[in-house]
């Protein structure tokens, strides 16, 4: 694998081809905020908090660092007025759904996000997909999945599978950035009476 040299926040960074900007940044201790990212899982690119500014041949654009592959001589900025503005807006959009999430509150403080910017619609879930992907990719049980699309998208357990698999696992619980999953799971358990 060839070595790729590029720049993050003015620092020269060496990375292996095929790595993402996020991986390369973290390998040298540069922080980029994320919600839907997890080392054990395939990059998903849904929360967009990891958005950074990239100059490719003097062409600047915003990209999701968790899925953008490193390339020779690119220049990355992990903070800028625009990046911060976008992260703030994303957090505000999230906070409408999960105003009490500690993880979100911490980030909100850093980016000056106002949790009251949008009307509250406390659904808890922010669709980061960590539980769904973990159950699929790591556990390969597929007890929890997504349903529907757009703003109606939700997570949903398959009761028959959940009844067999989840009780002794619950590994997705600590992954959830809003602790919503537990609520959904408990609800689903309550609703489902296993057939004898």
Partner 1 sequence: MDNARIDKIIEKHHGEASSLIQVLLDIQSEHHWLPKAALKRVSEKLRVPLTQIQHIATFYKAFSLVPKGRHEVHVCVGTACHVRGASRILDTLQELTGIKPGETDLELKFSLETVNCLGCCALGPVLEIDGKTHGKMTTAETADVLKNYQ
Partner 2 sequence: MSQIHSPAELEAFRKGILSQRDPKKPCITLCSGSACQASGSAEVALNLEAEIQKQGLSGAVDIRRTGCHGYCERGPIIISNPEGICYFNISPDDVPEIVTKTVKEKKIVERLLYTEPETGEKITHEDEIPFYKHQERLVFGDNVKIDPKSIEDYLAIGGYAALAKALFGMSAEQVLEEVQKSNLRGRGGGGFPAGRKWEGSRSAPEPIKYVIVNADEGDPGAYMDRSLLEGNPHSILEGLTIGAYAIGAHEGFIYVRQEYPLAVENVNRAIRKAEELGFLGKNILGSGFDFTVTVHQGAGAFVCGESTALMTALEGRVGEPRPKYIRSNIKGLWDRPSVLNNVETWANVPLIINNGADWFTRFGTEKSSGTKIFALVGKINNTGLVEVPMGITLRDIIYKIGGGIPGGKKFKAVQTGGPSGGCIPEALLDLGVDFDELAKAGSMMGSGGMIVMDEDTCMVDVARYFIDFLADESCGKCVPCREGTRQMLKILTNITEGRGKEGDIELLEELSETAKEAALCALGKSAPNSFLSTLHYFRDEYEAHIKEKRCPALSCKELIAFYIDPEKCQGCGSCLRKCPAEAIIGGKKLIHIIDQDKCTKCGTCFEVCPTKFAAVTKISGVPVPAPVPEAERTVIKQSKEK
Pair 173, 181: CB distance under 8 Å:
yes
**Rg value, the chain, Cα:** 19
Please, which of residues 150-179 interact with partner 1 by CB under 8 A?
156, 158, 161
Select the binding partner of residue 142 from partner 2, partner 1, none (C-beta < 5 to 8 A, by kind): partner 1
H helices within 18-78, ranges in order? Answer: 21-27
Q: Rule CB under 8 A: say whether 119 interacts with partner 2.
A: yes
Decide whether 45 or 145 has the Cβ nearer to partner 1: 145
Decide whether 81 or 190 has the Cβ nearer to partner 2: 81
Select the binding partner of residue 175 from partner 2, partner 1, none (C-beta < 5 to 8 A, by kind): none
Beta-ladder partners of 8: 11, 76
Q: Rule CB under 8 A: say whether 6 interacts with partner 2.
A: no
* Beta strands 3-8 and 154-157, pairing class: unpaired
Query: Token digits for 5?
Result: 């040299």
DSSP state of 169: T
| Cα gap 188→193, rounded to integer Å | 10
Please, which of residues 129-148 interact with partner 1 by CB under 8 A?
132, 135-136, 142-148
Q: Rule CB under 8 A: say whether 149 interacts with partner 1.
A: yes
Query: Token digits for 45?
Result: 């690119």
Binding site for partner 2 (CB under 8 A): 44-48, 51, 62-64, 67-69, 82, 85-86, 89-90, 93-94, 96-97, 118-119, 126-127, 146, 148-153
């Amino acid at each position: 694998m060839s070595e790729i040299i590029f720049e993050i926040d003015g620092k020269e960074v060496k990375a292996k081809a095929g790595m993402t900007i996020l991986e390369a940044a973290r390998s040298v201790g540069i922080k980029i905020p994320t919600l839907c990212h997890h080392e054990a899982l395939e990059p998903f690119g849904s929360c967009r908090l990891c958005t950074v500014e990239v100059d490719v041949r003097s062409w600047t654009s915003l990209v999701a660092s968790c899925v953008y592959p490193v390339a020779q001589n690119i220049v990355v900025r992990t903070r800028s007025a625009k990046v911060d503005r976008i992260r703030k807006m994303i957090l505000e959009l999230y906070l409408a759904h999960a105003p009490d999430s500690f993880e979100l509150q911490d980030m909100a403080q850093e980016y000056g996000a106002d949790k009251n910017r949008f009307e509250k619609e406390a659904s808890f879930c922010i669709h980061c997909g960590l539980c769904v992907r973990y159950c699929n990719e790591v556990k390969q049980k597929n007890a929890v999945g997504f349903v529907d699309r757009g703003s109606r998208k939700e997570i949903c357990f398959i009761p028959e599978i959940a009844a067999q698999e989840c009780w002794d696992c619950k590994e997705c619980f600590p992954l959830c950035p809003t602790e919503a999953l537990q609520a959904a799971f408990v609800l689903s358990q309550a609703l489902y009476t296993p057939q004898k």
